[in-house]
Copies of this chain bind each other. A is one copy, B any other.
Amino acid sequence: MVSPKRTKLKDLALHLDLTESTVSRALNGYADISPKTVDRVTQAAVQLGYKPNQNARRLATGQAEAVAYVIPQNHSSLAEPFVSQLLRGLNDSLSRRGWDLLVSHAVSAEDEAAKIHRLISSGRVSGVVLTRPFRNDARIKLLQDAGFPFVVHGRCSHCDDYSWYDIDNELAIKTAATHLIALGHQRIGFIGAPLYYNFAFQRLEGYKSALAEAGIPYDETIVEIAEMKDDAGESAASNQLDSGKPPTAFVCSSDTQALGVLAAIRTRGLTAGEDVSVIGYDGLSIGRHANPPLTTMAQPQAQSGRELGDILLAVIDGDDPASHQILKRAELVLRNTAGPLRDRNYH
């Protein structure tokens, strides 16, 4: 249990009969050290298993060599596969520099602000990744005012002057709704996400836009705002289906909601994709095993973490944040829940 004392810079210097400063510079690639000395030093370093004390280094350089990923306080457990994928991508990006990844998980909105404050003003991290921005998000203002490097996974209503990586939510939902319209549907319900999320707003806009383009009047009685979980989707769809004039199709703001919608449809003895069509949003691979397999808008999640990391590193290095804004598009994954309009025969 006695930990063998670590070799520190001093030991290395003594061993090599050099000064600590020389060894340090040799290790950090300074130009004023002769190549052979550099060789000697690096060899001795691996030989003695020297790992610089990161805290000392961070203190001396003022660079934390770490970034934090701030997980939003409330999000449904079903949506969480994304978090893991994203962390993996972030890690990939950061480890090329040997940087660390912190995750910070707040329990409330105020707690979140406090945590961010602590993170950025205690030298723990040199950058922050934010997710799920609100329409106008206090966290972003906080970071901007502090002049602290950050990147947002998503956009706010006002997003010109910072870095972000986002999916074109509006276009995605518009694509979904337009697909249903092309299948003959005219009465299309929309299951939205809470509108304080900007992406929720954008998705609603996409829905409206598709209708407008097709000349279908917007009917707010078939638009429901629900949390992004299956139960919420199920009850929202239930309301609609049990109403006098139910939609013949649904566009959902998430796959988890869509799974609930499918459940509501099954419960009523109907068949999704035949009696009622459904399109989800997220492209969860699990949707393949839904009943029936869920048609959905798949967003390219795989690289998102990687790209967010790269952007953040660039901004930390001094790049203009506004020059790093990436907008990707989702694509329609055709499975079995979106079919042509039929004669309504289900009540």
Contact = CB atoms under 8 A, between A and B. Distances in A.
Interface of A: 1-4, 6, 49, 51-56, 58-59, 64, 66, 71, 77-78, 80-81, 83-85, 87-88, 91-92, 95, 98, 100-105, 107, 115, 117-118, 121-124, 146-148, 230, 259-260, 262-263, 285-286, 288-292
Contacts of A83: 80, 83-84, 87
B105 A2 contact: no
Contacts of A260: 289
A55 to B, nearest CB: 4
A162 to B, nearest CB: 12
B55 A123 contact: yes
Given A2-B147, A53-B59, 7 more contacts: A55-B55, A56-B123, A80-B83, A83-B87, A88-B105, A95-B105, A263-B288
Nearest to A234: B289
A259 B286 contact: yes
A148 B71 contact: no
A91 B77 contact: no
24 contacts: A2-B147, A3-B147, A49-B121, A51-B121, A54-B123, A55-B55, A55-B58, A55-B59, A55-B64, A56-B59, A71-B91, A78-B81, A80-B80, A83-B83, A84-B84, A91-B103, A91-B104, A95-B115, A100-B104, A101-B104, A102-B102, A263-B289, A290-B290, A291-B291
State how many copies of this chain the complex holds. Answer: 2
Given A100-B102, A103-B101, A124-B100, A3 B148 contact: yes
A92 B147 CA distance: 29
Contacts of A118: 51, 98
Nearest to A58: B55
Given A71-B88, A102-B100, A146 B285 contact: no
A49 B1 CA distance: 40
A122 B51 contact: yes
- Among the interface residues A84, A115, A122, A292, which one has the most CB atoms of the partner chain B within 10 A? A84
